[in-house]
Amino acid sequence: MALAGRLLSSRGTTIFAAVFLASTVLGGGMGAAWANETRQPRLNVLGSGNALSVLITAGKARLLLATGDDPVAFANALAQVRHPTTPRIDILLVAGRGRSLLVPIAARETVHPRYVALLGAIPPSPERDALLGAMVPVLACPRVIDLGSGIQVEVEIADAGSATDADAEQAWRLIVRHGATTVVILSRGEDAGRFPDIGPVAALVVAAGTLTTGPEGPAAGALVVPATAINGKDLRRDLGSSIREKVWTIRSFPGEVTRLEFVSGGLRLPAHATLVEPSPPPAAASISSGLPLMATDDQRQRDEMLTGGTGTTAETATG
């Protein structure tokens, strides 16, 4: 009986040690994977209802642009990219008006940022009163924020008004640079003409609404818009009729994450990006934007080539 007790005790110790070792290895592996992922500079576009929020990560630094009317969708999206090893948010930038401030209010209360600022004046509303009760300042612009890991964020505000101006409709733009690759985050599609032209960019993220294109469409290799603002058929039709270059499009849905990852020489797009071609095709045989794209695994996408740059195919846009 004593021998059986010793055998059972030994077996129990062995099982406990095995479980402890497995959990330690698993936890260490997950921590290493999270740490490796967070080191890669990227933009995480978060579907937040009627608008898109964006979490910019650069090493251990985190900048969150929050806007939208669906805090639950925002929380679901943020949970997918906010790892337990790096939960903090260093800078929270607030944008929107009326119900589009519901996401910033929720973000301020849940992520506990180190610094919070408004992107310009906010028209009066109950949501603004709830937000400004915490004495949130307006960010002085233009401003350049260095996040480290080669990421710089230039913040611009157009037509800035006072915080008490009921008619204020603030237009803002974030220019995210990593080496030679540039991504622009724009307040609304109709605000594109309020800012100086900076030339072709790798991607344009329209936070609210869709893009109001000019006669030659957006000077971007990729376009990200809220899925709630326009359906895919209308986006392809409207964009195809105004562009002279192929453009990758992504409709970001509430609660979902669109990852734009900075890589050597460009920007990696998600595999579900859709390529929109000019319709009708331009008369010129070859028009180059200087925005080479590298291919996804889809054979059709691998066959799509841009003509000016490196001659590579599309999963990566540079600009």
Query: 204 pLDDT exceeds 50?
Result: yes
Q: Which residue type sits at 20? A: F
Q: What is the mean pLDDT of residues 12-39?
A: 49
Supply the range of the domain harboring residue 79: 38-317
pTM (2 decimals)? 0.76
Strand order in the sheet with 115-118: 115-118, 91-94, 61-66, 52-58, 42-47, 257-263, 266-268, 316-317
Domain membership flag for residue 26: no
Judge whether 33 lies within some domain: no
Average pLDDT of the chain to the nearest whole number: 77
In a domain, 3, yes or no: no
Task: Say if 238 falls within a structural domain.
Answer: yes
**For residue 155, is it within any domain?**
yes
The tokens for 200 are 């072709």
How many structural domains is the chain composed of? 1
Residue 25 within a domain = no
Whether residue 308 contacts residue 285, with contact meaning beta carbons closer than 8 Å, is answered with no
Flag whether 12 is in a domain: no
Gap between the Cα atoms of 67 and 96, Å rounded: 6
Compute the average pLDDT of residues 279-286.
54
Does any domain span residue 197?
Answer: yes
Band (126; pLDDT cuts 50, 70, 90) = confident
Mean pLDDT for 177-194 is 91
Q: What tens digit of pLDDT does each residue of 205-231 get?
A: 999 987 765 544 568 899 999 999 988
**pLDDT score of 169:** 66
- Count the neighbouring beta carbons within 10 Å of the beta carbon of residue 160: 15
Beta-bridge mates of residue 144: 154
Q: Rounded to 5 degrees, what are φ and ψ at 178?
A: -140, 100
**pLDDT band at residue 88, thresholds of 50, 70 and 90?**
confident
Stretch 238-259: mean pLDDT = 90
Q: Which helix (H) or strand (E) holds 247?
A: strand 247-252
Which residues lie across from 235 on neighbouring strands?
A: none
Q: Is it the case that residue 239 has pLDDT exceeding 80?
A: yes
Region 257-281: what's the mean pLDDT?
A: 89
CATH number, domain at 88?
Answer: 3.60.15
